[in-house]
Structure 1
Amino acid sequence: MPWILLLLLCLFGAPAQAVTIPGVTTSTSSSQPPATAPEPDVEQKKAAYGALADVLENDTSRKELIDQLRTVAKTPPQEPVPSITPPEVTSDKTVLENVTDVSRHYGEALSARFAQLYRNLIGSPHKAFNPQTFGNAASHFLMLAGAIFAFYWLARLCAWPLYRKMGEWGRRKNREKSSWLHLPLMIAGAFVIDLLLLALTLFVGQLLSDNLNAGSKTIAFQQSLFLNAFALIEFFKALLRLIFSPRVPDLRPFSVNDQGAKYWALRLSILSGLIGYGLLVAVPIISNQVNVQIGALANVLIMLCITVWALYLIFHNKKAITAGLLHLADRSLSFFSLFIRAFALVWHWLASAYFIVLCFFSLFDPGNSLKFMMGATFHSLAIIGIAAFVSGLLSRWISKTITLSPQVQRNYPELQKRVNGWISASLKVARILTVCIAIMLLLSAWSLFDFWNWMHNGAGEKTVDILIRIALILFFSAIGWTLLASLIENRLVSDIHGRPLPSARARTLLTLFRNALAVIISTITIMIVLSEIGVNIAPLLAGAGALGLAISFGSQTLVKDIITGIFIQFENGMNTGDLVTIGPLTGTVERMSIRSVGVRQDTGAYHIIPWSSITTFANFVRGIGSVVANYDVDRHEDADKAKQALRAAVEELMEMEDIRGLVIGEPSFAGIVGLTNTAFTLRVSFTTQPLKQWTVRFALDSMVKKHFDLADVRPPVQTYQVLPAPGSPPPPLEPTL
């Protein structure tokens, strides 16, 4: 019964205005809004209600309706048709276009500022000037200013004797070198006293302002302007007194002469007074009491005059200040000397930029700009001072060393040097981090970089986390290398209990193992550090394997050197200090690496011989030495007499204590071992300690010569024959020794 569904749709759609049944499919797209069904009239509604009543009264039709409703409920919903949205077309801008956009943005902002300044000068509404009100306010203002200046001058005058005593005591302690902290503490104490006197003066000024404002809000406002400007300017002057100290030279932290200190303290004080009282007091009072236009004009004139005067002072004293900074750099530590020399080259440009920026800011926003510049200046001076103090402490600690006990130095000879090296490197890194943090804080003080926001967002936290991880990795690597290397070095030396030195082979293998350990720890540390900073080391490892394979094929001689050297070392073929013969070279082994051996001849020539080029070699230091001495005697001599003379020479040689200790066992007499037409040969042989055979042989030759001469045993006689001239008798043979 399809008409039943149509009837129901018409019935329920009339009051609800096209309410859809869940599960019913529609032919409209999901992206299109459904069409609103027309409102049925009253007759149609009545007909629909009557038809529904007839259906419900009949059991068959009612059941059919229920089945159709359940079938519709089980029908799955139609999948929504996805809407296709075209991608946004973005045009990549060139660098020139980006620069143009930025320039246009800041140019429009600057032009808007100048337009506002022009409107202040030309188009501001005029205000009626009331001489009586202005005179009354000016009189109360001058009364408060005079009282404040007089009180502050008297307070500082009473404190000058205390400043002098503090400076003399600090200088005396500094000359006695009892402690270098006395003078800095006195300088800081004088600055704190200055600030306390300023706070006391402001308190008194506030009390006077409450009683000298005559109940006028205008007078109270002007006096509050003066007190704020007085606090700001006198604080800056306190900083000038901290740096130059013109009246108490003993409290001067820098080596500036009295004339230069007074010159700069006076001019900078006047400059700060003109800026502060001009912008924070005079301009607001003129704008409020006289006219806004005149106030804006006064602001422009004051800042132009101050800027021109400041630039004159900067470039007029450029050479003198640059020379002073270079002289200070020559007397400073090398770390600070670099920064001072760099500052000496650009200080005049920085100072000029400072006053030009102050001038522009003051033209647009006099009060806030001066507060910002003063606050940024104070923060900058504080940051530079603290950074210089911390860097100075680190530099002093770098120059100091740790001294271990003699017993520890004997057992671990390289430990003290290695520990001092690690500490020095750590302090240098800390000093570099101090400079980096100081630079970021300086940029943050001038609103060029938000340091604290950077520290609290993802980039700053991630950077600090990486730095801490790298520091821990390097720390544990240094500790591990120091411990392992110290243990190896402890095995290379004898101890206080008389432990003998290790053998030459053990020393060589331990040295090679220490070098290999250094390479392994360094490689692993570098790989872990690269992984921590975000470098994917998997390609590096794969590339290192491929590179190693390529090198192994291309450098077969190097691989052969290494393999041959390893086997020679494990076979204990030679060690450092051995006397060896390698091919035509005979000399002492001075150095052994994994690739080559260094041999020095007795002539002083040093030879580096690759292991792969060694086919055979002779080592004279392997347990014993041997002396085989042959002596030729004239054939006509008595053999028994010659033997007896040789035995007497050997017996006297063996009685010498220094020679007897070098001979192992007893000498061996072989008797006659050779016979020629002119001589017979006697032989005696010795077994000696390693490398002592030449000492025994030289001493034996001396004894044999002595006893052969005493026994009149002659060496072989050489003869020659002179042919006679033709017709003359032949001459007799003449013996020749």
Structure 2
Amino acid sequence: MPWILVFLFCLFCAPAQAVTIPGVTTGASASQEKAPPPEPDVEQKKAAYRALADVLENDTSRQELIEQLRKVADTPPKEQVPVITPPEVEDQKTVLENITDVGRHYGEALSSRFAQLYRNLIGSPHKAFNPQTFSNAASHFLILAASVFTLYWLLRLCAWPLYLKMGRWGRKKNREKSSWLHLPLMISAAFVIDLLLLALTLFVGQVLIETLHAGSKTIAFQQGLFLNAFALIEFFKALLRLIFCPRVPDLRPFTIQDESAKYWAVRLSILSGLIGYGLMVAVPIISNQVNVQIGALANVLIMICITVWALYLIFHNKRAITESLLHLADRSLTFFSLFIRAFALVWHWLASAYFIVLCFFSLFDPGNSLKFMMGATFRSLAIIGIAAFVSGLLSRWLSKTITLSPHVQRNYPELQKRVNGWISVSLKVARILTVCVAIMLLLNAWGLFDFWNWLHNGAGEKTVDVLIRIALILFFSAIGWTLLASLIENRLVSDVHGRPLPSARARTLLTLCRNALAVIISTITIMILLSEIGVNIAPLLAGAGALGLAISFGSQTLVKDIITGVFIQFENGMNTGDLVTIGPLTGTVERMSIRSVGVRQDTGAYHIIPWSSITTFANFVRGIGSVVANYDVDRHEDAEKAKQALRAAVEELMEMEDIRGLVIGEPSFAGIVGLTNTAFTLRVSFTTQPLKQWTVRFALDSMVKKHFDLADVRAPVQTYQLLPAPASGTPPTPEEPTL
């Protein structure tokens, strides 16, 4: 409360301190100290409170206000006290307002482009048409074009028999399966020869330009336009011949029908010729020789016709191409099949968008549109090809496994599986990163995303740094877990030198230790990864501590189970496979965890017993087993004869090799250990191996029965006393008992 009063006092006395706060102070200066300012009214006070609340509500303005207050407090008295000006609070726009702003921006840009196109069609300067100059330039241009086309056609005609021989030889080697490299080598060689013929034609065309331009720079310029367009278009046609190869099917790298190959090769060649020669040759020549307006109009008409025809081809063949892509996906690897199926669903929209964008670019920027689109297309094809090649290599490596030597597999049984698992995960992550980088490079190729600027500045550099850190953390975590788990598993198996298997207690403790290491390493790795990606793990640690405290109070039985189980394990009380008696249950231990033990009875029933409920238990496999056999003999039998028969039975039992190996030491005869009215008891005891006492006892019973029968030693006879019923009315008289 005192601090609030001090704050209110300072607030209302602020005009006396040469500091101006909008809405609170009244702008008084130090020179007016003698004249006290008027008392603000209620509305001014409310406005001051609202202004101060707005300043304090914004985190940035509040921090700046605090800094300015500290600066005012630290200002020496002789200096002018700075004026506190709260920062301007920027209005936060809604998502709808942002979308509206973006739409307005691009709408204005599009309308300005159409306005510029209209000015090119209407307001361009007129140029006088000179028929003589036009006819002279056209004749030289046609002579060069005819010469270049004829030369290139003759060269390709001469090379056609060579292509046929190369295709037959490559297919023959491929059918013989002598090597898979021959056919791809012939396909690549045919493409290289095609490019060499194109280069030779361009060289001859350049020589012809030097001799056919008639000393006119305009004619030379127009012929140069043609030669550049010819080079670009024929290079694209060479790529089409590489893919479809309509005249030499043996050199076709893909399984395509001859009719489909000819159909698409012809139409795509015509389409590329119309685009290239129309935009790069016809439009510039018309603009230069006839009129700029007519050239712009020709550009619009050419691009509209090309776009309409391209859209017709796309949607006319949509179903056939989609079915072909789905069939290709069925024959591809799973990873590539996913992308091919996705592409089959949207390929027609992508192709339509490509030609529509090309149309708009050519309308707005005729000089650079085709160059940009072709460059982006070639870069995209190169990126997709390289990404597919790298992904294919990674997929091939995924199908392979590392095989360790038999010695290593014997000592470390899970090491090979674990190493192959880590490598498989790493290759899958590398394949995903390859796809992501390829997508970003494709966006960069089309000018939608500046990949290199993003990579070297700001978020890109930070992202790459975080990814490298994450990779290193996961790598060292995997190495540490693999080494520790392999060492533990090495202790769980015998080695080539005959080292015996560890005890059941050691196996149980090592298994629990391995599980605990897995939990610890996983938790630490997750925490470090969260901190690397910018997540504040302090609240998580605090929350985990509070949660652990709450759980410890709310689940005391669980904690008691864990602690009791740990002590039983360290005391080697029981292990997996032991025969134990826990309370009323007797069975074999099948499973032991940190909370409970699983016991299987001989009836097949499986019991889960918490450690905390075990007060006492018996273990039948600790050290030795014991057999204490008692045999009752009729009281009237000769004791020495019975003892001799028992010794004979034991001697014959000890002569059995399978039983003698189960008995430790010699049997012990106690003689007569009990005497009743009808029998006396003989006892013999054995010390056996653990869990073998029942086998020895069953065999001993058989031998005793055999030798007692041979010696005519009788078992106790049950006796009954029969009393006759007395006659009615007469008291009973005692008679001799009947046995």
Q: Same fold (TM over 0.5)?
A: yes
Moved more, 365-374 or 595-604: 595-604
Say if 2:723 and 2:737, in contact at 8 Å, map to a contact too: no
Aligned ranges for residues 512-551 of structure 1 at < 5 Å?
512-551=512-551
1:147 aligns with 2:138: no
C-alpha separation in 1, matches of 2:600 and 2:260: 66
Superposed displacement of residue 130, structure 1: 2.3
User: 1:364 maps to what in 2?
Assistant: 364
Gaps of 5+ in 2: 1-28, 31-75, 729-735
State the SS of the aligned residue for 2:526.
helix
C-alpha separation in 1, matches of 2:415 and 2:299: 68
C-alpha separation in 2, matches of 1:409 and 1:588: 31
Query: Counterpart of 1:257 in structure 2: which amino acid?
Result: Q
Superposed displacement of residue 688, structure 1: 0.7
Query: Counterpart of 2:703 in structure 1: which amino acid?
Result: M
User: 2:94 maps to what in 1?
Assistant: 94
User: 1:600 maps to what in 2?
Assistant: 600
Query: Counterpart of 1:693 in structure 2: which amino acid?
Result: Q
C-alpha separation in 1, matches of 2:341 and 2:722: 92
Distance 1:238 1:698, change over 3 A: farther
Query: Counterpart of 2:376 in structure 1: which amino acid?
Result: A
Superposed displacement of residue 312, structure 1: 1.5
C-alpha separation in 2, matches of 1:540 and 1:319: 54
C-alpha separation in 2, matches of 1:480 and 1:264: 57
Say if 2:492 and 2:501, in contact at 8 Å, map to a contact too: yes
Superposed displacement of residue 168, structure 1: 4.3
Moved more, 446-455 or 213-222: 213-222
Distance 1:111 1:556, change over 3 A: same
Superposed displacement of residue 566, structure 1: 0.8
Query: Counterpart of 1:319 in structure 2: which amino acid?
Result: R
Distance 1:291 1:334, change over 3 A: same
CA shift digits 1:591-639 (9 cap, x unpaired): 2222222223333433332211222211111011112223333444433
User: 1:7 maps to what in 2?
Assistant: none
CA shift digits 1:530-585 (9 cap, x unpaired): 22222222222222222211111111111111111110111011112212222233
State the SS of the aligned residue for 1:591.
strand
State the SS of the aligned residue for 2:367.
helix
User: 1:322 maps to what in 2?
Assistant: 322
C-alpha separation in 2, matches of 1:181 and 1:632: 92
State the SS of the aligned residue for 2:587.
strand
| Matched-pair identity in % | 90
User: 2:294 maps to what in 1?
Assistant: 294
Query: Counterpart of 1:527 in structure 2: which amino acid?
Result: M
User: 1:431 maps to what in 2?
Assistant: 431
C-alpha separation in 2, matches of 1:581 and 1:168: 82
C-alpha separation in 1, matches of 2:601 and 2:177: 56
Moved more, 95-104 or 704-713: 704-713
Query: Counterpart of 1:684 in structure 2: which amino acid?
Result: V
CA shift digits 1:397-437 (9 cap, x unpaired): 11111111111111111111111111111111111111110
User: 2:690 maps to what in 1?
Assistant: 690
C-alpha separation in 2, matches of 1:388 and 1:581: 64
Query: Counterpart of 1:429 in structure 2: which amino acid?
Result: V
How many matched pairs? 662
C-alpha separation in 1, matches of 2:156 and 2:646: 108
Aligned ranges for residues 638-653 of structure 1 at < 5 Å?
638-653=638-653
C-alpha separation in 2, matches of 1:697 and 1:414: 43
Distance 1:319 1:662, change over 3 A: same
Say if 2:579 and 2:619, in contact at 8 Å, map to a contact too: yes
User: 1:282 maps to what in 2?
Assistant: 282
C-alpha separation in 1, matches of 2:178 and 2:521: 45
C-alpha separation in 1, matches of 2:359 and 2:99: 26
- Normalised by the length of structure 2, the TM-score is 0.84
Superposed displacement of residue 114, structure 1: 1.2
User: 2:633 maps to what in 1?
Assistant: 633
1:591 aligns with 2:584: no
C-alpha separation in 1, matches of 2:167 and 2:621: 74
Say if 2:589 and 2:599, in contact at 8 Å, map to a contact too: yes
Query: Counterpart of 1:337 in structure 2: which amino acid?
Result: S
Superposed displacement of residue 179, structure 1: 5.3
State the SS of the aligned residue for 2:615.
coil
User: 1:238 maps to what in 2?
Assistant: 238
C-alpha separation in 1, matches of 2:737 and 2:296: 136
CA shift digits 1:496-544 (9 cap, x unpaired): 1112222221121111111111222222222222222222222222222
C-alpha separation in 1, matches of 2:261 and 2:348: 18
Query: Counterpart of 1:104 in structure 2: which amino acid?
Result: R
Distance 1:332 1:719, change over 3 A: farther
Moved more, 174-183 or 526-535: 174-183
Query: Counterpart of 1:597 in structure 2: which amino acid?
Result: V
CA shift digits 1:69-100 (9 cap, x unpaired): xxxxxxx9952353565644643333222222
Query: Counterpart of 1:135 in structure 2: which amino acid?
Result: S
Superposed displacement of residue 642, structure 1: 2.8
C-alpha separation in 1, matches of 2:282 and 2:392: 43
Say if 1:329 and 1:340, in contact at 8 Å, map to a contact too: yes
Say if 1:587 and 1:600, in contact at 8 Å, map to a contact too: yes
C-alpha separation in 2, matches of 1:600 and 1:176: 63
Moved more, 81-90 or 355-364: 81-90
User: 1:254 maps to what in 2?
Assistant: 254
Distance 1:286 1:502, change over 3 A: same
User: 1:452 maps to what in 2?
Assistant: 452
User: 1:568 maps to what in 2?
Assistant: 568
Say if 2:412 and 2:486, in contact at 8 Å, map to a contact too: yes
Superposed displacement of residue 165, structure 1: 4.3
CA shift digits 1:215-234 (9 cap, x unpaired): 12221121111112112212
User: 2:699 maps to what in 1?
Assistant: 699
Query: Counterpart of 1:288 in structure 2: which amino acid?
Result: N
C-alpha separation in 2, matches of 1:275 and 1:726: 137
State the SS of the aligned residue for 2:368.
helix
C-alpha separation in 2, matches of 1:570 and 1:359: 80
Distance 1:723 1:227, change over 3 A: farther
C-alpha separation in 2, matches of 1:165 and 1:727: 133
Say if 2:120 and 2:296, in contact at 8 Å, map to a contact too: yes
User: 1:56 maps to what in 2?
Assistant: none
User: 1:332 maps to what in 2?
Assistant: 332
Superposed displacement of residue 718, structure 1: 4.4
User: 1:158 maps to what in 2?
Assistant: 158
Say if 2:722 and 2:738, in contact at 8 Å, map to a contact too: no
Aligned ranges for residues 106-255 of structure 1 at < 5 Å?
106-175=106-175, 180-255=180-255
Distance 1:80 1:181, change over 3 A: farther
C-alpha separation in 1, matches of 2:334 and 2:318: 24
What is the alpha-carbon root mean square deviation over aligned residues?
2.8
User: 1:554 maps to what in 2?
Assistant: 554
Aligned ranges for residues 648-667 of structure 1 at < 5 Å?
648-667=648-667
Query: Counterpart of 2:520 in structure 1: which amino acid?
Result: I
Moved more, 537-546 or 629-638: 629-638
Say if 2:398 and 2:424, in contact at 8 Å, map to a contact too: yes
State the SS of the aligned residue for 1:367.
coil
Superposed displacement of residue 176, structure 1: 5.2
User: 2:82 maps to what in 1?
Assistant: 82
Say if 1:719 and 1:733, in contact at 8 Å, map to a contact too: no
Superposed displacement of residue 690, structure 1: 1.0
C-alpha separation in 2, matches of 1:585 and 1:249: 80
Distance 1:227 1:420, change over 3 A: same
Query: Counterpart of 1:409 in structure 2: which amino acid?
Result: Q
C-alpha separation in 1, matches of 2:106 and 2:535: 39
Distance 1:648 1:171, change over 3 A: farther
Query: Counterpart of 2:697 in structure 1: which amino acid?
Result: R
- Normalised by the length of structure 1, the TM-score is 0.84
State the SS of the aligned residue for 1:632.
strand
C-alpha separation in 2, matches of 1:117 and 1:645: 126
- Which of these two proteins has the greater Rg computed from alpha carbons? 1
Distance 1:517 1:176, change over 3 A: farther
C-alpha separation in 2, matches of 1:628 and 1:354: 95
Query: Counterpart of 2:241 in structure 1: which amino acid?
Result: R
Superposed displacement of residue 383, structure 1: 0.6
C-alpha separation in 2, matches of 1:525 and 1:94: 39
C-alpha separation in 1, matches of 2:483 and 2:222: 72
Moved more, 685-694 or 121-130: 121-130
Superposed displacement of residue 159, structure 1: 3.3
Superposed displacement of residue 481, structure 1: 1.5
State the SS of the aligned residue for 2:589.
strand
Moved more, 161-170 or 128-137: 161-170
Query: Counterpart of 1:346 in structure 2: which amino acid?
Result: V
